[in-house]
């Protein structure tokens, strides 16, 4: 069964909302009010379609006002992990035999539900992750895009692969889902990555155990509501929330997991990758791991660049969602000839950013947790040792409601080998590096463990072409900001320690979650 052209319109990314339009802003405020009425509730596990309350719970709080409890999430234990795998295994034989067209229709229905609840989902993100309106809108749009895009991508999986014929034989190679998988997303794209890394495997016919970040478990509960509202079969997606120390290893080690779809930090990714290599009693397969990890992303500006474009790209890339993106520009590499001018303009533009509450749609909001606040402040202060603090350098001057606000920080004169030039900060801290010339800038840009995103602002055709060939990143942006990849437009994933280059939102993503079977019959 292949595509149903009468019901499936071509994929196009969800448009962003323009909050300068009064009615849209009103809509957002109304959604914030609606969600405010649901804050503080207790959210259960969802296993095999059943909502399961646990004895223990843990709070998820608003980073901009940590006294505000967004909700209490169920704290799963060993028995719940066991039940979740059981439910996923039980659902697999049925779900995996649905045709791709049938599964695609379930995804289209889910996308429609997400779209109907879009502003509400945005409001949840504003409360739970401190996303301002634009960032939340982008995240929810991306979630919808993943669902729509993978629905269409699934249709291709039912078509046999092209093979050559051989006299006297019939040969065919087909694709089939692998089985039960474990999905572990991060908190920063709390809905988009959760939905994308779940819906890829599921669209391909697998069933999953989904474990969101303990920083943002409530949005996962809301997503499970959306699945139920879309009439999804029980057990295809099973939600487990809890403390990583309690359930992390158990989930990873379970012999029933056939694959692990992980997005997060290098440290956690490596731990999971190593543990997943161990074959446990009763396990008759090798676990596949898909690891999308961190970045230390650089934007190069050369002396031919349009400096207006450069400054805008630097501010958006460095401080969008407070630098808490894997793709965030955390290194700005300026060639000597324009270094001082661009630095000055970058500092002036960043100084104009409004730091404040996400509900008020400030430009820079609180970072996700107290732990992250301490870590980012430490890096900001390190700026005084490793360079010259040109802006910020610690906690924000005003911290309304006791939120975890860090001042937008720019550190100049950072050496390429400095910690600030090598380690992922994941906060509003940008290291500015001086390069002799373009060659030097490219060498510095490539000289880290990471290879996720990068960019060049230049008018030189020759250099743009060289960057295409020599700038070793999975997502390279020329003459624009280095964040904001769109599903189906810029398939996303990095090189080197940035991970296994899954290319989420790309045409081959679903191929990660299927196995090929070749059948030969002598005629």
CB 88, min distance to ligand NAD, A: 17
Cβ atoms within 10 A of the Cβ of 102, count? 12
Residue from the set 205, 294, 318, 320 that interacts with ligand NAD by CB under 6 A: 294
326 is catalytic: yes
Give the integer Cα–Cα distance in Å for 504 and 196: 7
263 contributes a contact to ligand NAD by CB under 6 A: yes
Nearer to ligand NAD, 266 or 305 (CB): 266
Q: Specify the residue for token string 């501010």.
A: 315
Q: % helix / strand / coil in the chain, to the nearest 5?
A: 40, 20, 40
Give the integer Cα–Cα distance in Å for 411 and 433: 9
Nearer to ligand NAD, 271 or 466 (CB): 271
514 contributes a contact to ligand NAD by CB under 6 A: no
Helix/strand/coil for 72: strand
499 contributes a contact to ligand NAD by CB under 6 A: yes
Nearest to 514 by CA among 193, 94, 100: 100
Where does 314-377 show beta strands of DSSP type E? 329-335
271 contributes a contact to ligand NAD by CB under 6 A: yes
Nearer to ligand NAD, 28 or 189 (CB): 189
229 is catalytic: no
340 contributes a contact to ligand NAD by CB under 6 A: no
Q: Specify the residue for token string 């634009």.
A: 134
Q: Specify the residue for token string 């069964």.
A: 1
Nearer to ligand NAD, 408 or 505 (CB): 505
Q: Which of 14, 135, 292, 386 is catalytic?
A: 292
Give the integer Cα–Cα distance in Å for 52 and 75: 11
Nearer to ligand NAD, 264 or 356 (CB): 264
292 contributes a contact to ligand NAD by CB under 6 A: yes
Whether the Cβ atoms of residue 350 and residue 494 lie closer than 8 Å to each other: no
Q: Which two tokens stand for residue 285?
A: 């397969």
Whether the Cβ atoms of residue 140 and residue 173 lie closer than 8 Å to each other: no
Query: Mask of contacts with ligand NAD, 424-443, x by CB under 6 A?
Result: x-x-----------------
User: Site size for ligand NAD, by CB under 6 A?
Assistant: 32
Helix/strand/coil for 212: coil
Nearer to ligand NAD, 193 or 456 (CB): 193
Residue from the set 57, 213, 238, 448 that interacts with ligand NAD by CB under 6 A: 213
Nearer to ligand NAD, 257 or 364 (CB): 257
CB 245, min distance to ligand NAD, A: 7
Q: Scanning residues 220 to 249, which ones bind ligand NAD (CB under 6 A)?
A: 244, 248-249
Nearest to 431 by CA among 441, 422, 443: 422
14 contributes a contact to ligand NAD by CB under 6 A: no
User: In the beta sheet, which residues pair with residue 161?
Assistant: 173
CB 136, min distance to ligand NAD, A: 16
Query: Mask of contacts with ligand NAD, 173-192, x by CB under 6 A?
Result: -----------xxxxxx---
Whether the Cβ atoms of residue 166 and residue 475 lie closer than 8 Å to each other: no
Q: How many CA atoms lie within 13 A of 419 on its CB side?
A: 11
196 contributes a contact to ligand NAD by CB under 6 A: no
DSSP H helix total and E strand total for the chain: 15, 21
Nearest to 435 by CA among 307, 338, 349: 338
CB 250, min distance to ligand NAD, A: 9
Nearer to ligand NAD, 28 or 85 (CB): 85
Residue from the set 221, 264, 323, 427 that interacts with ligand NAD by CB under 6 A: 264
Residue from the set 81, 175, 293, 298 that interacts with ligand NAD by CB under 6 A: 293
Q: Which stretch binds ligand NAD (CB under 6 A): 53-61, 120-128, 293-301, 344-352?
A: 293-301
Give the integer Cα–Cα distance in Å for 158 and 80: 34
CB 193, min distance to ligand NAD, A: 6
Cβ atoms within 10 A of the Cβ of 23, count? 8
Where does 13-152 show beta strands of DSSP type E? 41-43, 45-47, 50-52, 57-62, 65-74
473 contributes a contact to ligand NAD by CB under 6 A: no
CB 195, min distance to ligand NAD, A: 13
Nearer to ligand NAD, 327 or 458 (CB): 327
40 Cβ contact partners less than 8 Å away, ≥ 6 residues apart: 69, 70, 71, 72
Nearer to ligand NAD, 390 or 452 (CB): 452
Q: Which of 148, 326, 386, 424 is catalytic?
A: 326
271 Cβ contact partners less than 8 Å away, ≥ 6 residues apart: none
Whether the Cβ atoms of residue 184 and residue 193 lie closer than 8 Å to each other: no
CB 379, min distance to ligand NAD, A: 14
Interface residues toward ligand NAD, by CB under 6 A: 184-189, 193, 212-214, 244, 248-249, 252, 263-265, 268, 271-272, 292-295, 326, 424, 426, 452, 492, 494, 498-499
Query: What residues are labeled active site?
Result: 292, 326
């Amino acid at each position: 069964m292949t595509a149903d052209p009468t019901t499936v319109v071509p994929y196009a990314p969800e448009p962003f909302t323009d909050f300068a339009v009064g009615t849209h802003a009103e809509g957002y405020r109304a959604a914030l009010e609606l969600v405010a009425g649901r804050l503080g509730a207790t959210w259960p596990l969802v296993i095999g379609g059943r909502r399961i309350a646990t004895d223990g719970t843990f709070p998820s709080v608003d980073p901009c006002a940590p006294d505000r409890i967004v909700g209490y999430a169920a704290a799963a234990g060993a028995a719940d992990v066991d039940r979740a795998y059981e439910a996923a295994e039980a659902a697999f034989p049925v779900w995996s035999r649905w045709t791709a067209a049938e599964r695609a229709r379930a995804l289209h229905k889910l996308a429609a539900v997400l779209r109907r609840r879009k502003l509400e989902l945005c409001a949840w993100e504003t409360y739970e992750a401190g996303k301002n309106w634009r960032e939340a809108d982008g995240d929810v749009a991306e979630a919808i895009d993943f669902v729509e895009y993978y629905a269409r991508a699934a249709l291709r999986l039912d078509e046999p692969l092209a093979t050559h014929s051989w006299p006297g034989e019939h040969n065919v190679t087909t694709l089939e889902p692998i089985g039960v998988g474990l999905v572990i997303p991060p908190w920063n794209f709390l809905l988009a990555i959760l939905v994308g890394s779940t819906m890829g495997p599921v669209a391909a016919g697998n069933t999953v155990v989904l474990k969101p970040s303990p920083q943002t478990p409530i949005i996962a509960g809301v997503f499970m509501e959306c699945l139920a509202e879309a009439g999804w079969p029980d057990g295809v997606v099973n939600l487990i929330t809890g403390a990583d120390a309690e359930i992390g290893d158990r989930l990873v080690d379970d012999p029933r997991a056939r694959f692990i779809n992980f997005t997060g930090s290098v440290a956690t990714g490596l731990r999971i990758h190593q543990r997943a290599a161990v074959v446990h009693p009763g396990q008759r397969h090798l676990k596949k791991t898909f690891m999308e990890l961190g970045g230390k992303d650089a934007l190069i500006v050369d002396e031919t660049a349009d400096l207006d474009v450069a400054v805008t790209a630097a501010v958006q890339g460095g401080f969008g969602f407070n630098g808490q993106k894997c793709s965030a520009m955390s290194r700005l590499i300026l060639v000597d000839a324009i270094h001082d001018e661009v630095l000055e303009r970058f500092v002036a533009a960043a100084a104009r950013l409004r730091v404040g509450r996400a509900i008020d749609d400030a430009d820079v909001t609180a970072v996700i947790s107290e732990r992250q606040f301490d870590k980012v402040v430490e890096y900001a202060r390190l700026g005084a040792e490793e360079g010259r603090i040109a802006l910020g350098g610690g906690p924000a001057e005003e911290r309304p409601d006791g939120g975890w606000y860090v001042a937008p920080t720019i550190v100049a004169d950072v050496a390429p080998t400095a910690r600030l030039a090598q380690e992922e900060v994941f906060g509003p801290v940008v290291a500015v590096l001086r390069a002799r010339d373009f060659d030097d800038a490219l060498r510095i840009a490539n000289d880290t463990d990471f290879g996720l995103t990068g960019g060049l602002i230049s008018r030189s055709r020759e250099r743009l072409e060289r960057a295409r060939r020599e700038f070793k990143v999975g997502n390279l942006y020329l003459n624009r900001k280095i964040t904001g990849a769109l599903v189906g437009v810029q398939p996303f994933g990095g090189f080197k320690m940035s991970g296994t280059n899954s290319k989420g939102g790309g045409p081959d993503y679903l191929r990660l979650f299927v196995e090929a079977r070749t059948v030969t019959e002598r005629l």
